[in-house]
Amino acid sequence: MPLATTLLAVRSLARFDGLADRTGITFARPVESVAVMPETIDDPELRAWFDPGRFEANARDLGRHIEPLDTAELADA
């Protein structure tokens, strides 16, 4: 799974599962919907990241490492 798809999935899950409120992750614009099926991810470490038992803690940790996007970057997306 490409990194951009993974980040989109994280963004989407954070929005739709209420993780944004619990993890502090916020995004400049909402994502319509993305489904992640861990069994379709080839990389075992990345697949484990999306394990339902670990996802919330992983998302919270990820939130500490995400830098806000510059609005110019959003315009180019």
Kindly report, residue by residue over 14-67, the tens digit of the pLDDT.
444 455 555 555 555 554 444 566 666 777 777 777 776 776 676 666 655 555
Distance of CA 53 to the CA centre of its chain: 15
State the pLDDT at residue 47. Answer: 73
State the pLDDT at residue 71. Answer: 53
3-state SS string for 2-61:
CHHHHHHHHHHHHHHCCHHHHHCCCCCCCCCCCCCCHHHCCCHHHHHHCCCCCHHHHHHH
50 vs 77, higher pLDDT: 50
Sequence ranges of the domains in the chain? 3-67
Is this model's pTM higher than 0.85 or not? no
CB atoms near residue 50 (< 10 Å): 20
State the pLDDT at residue 15. Answer: 47
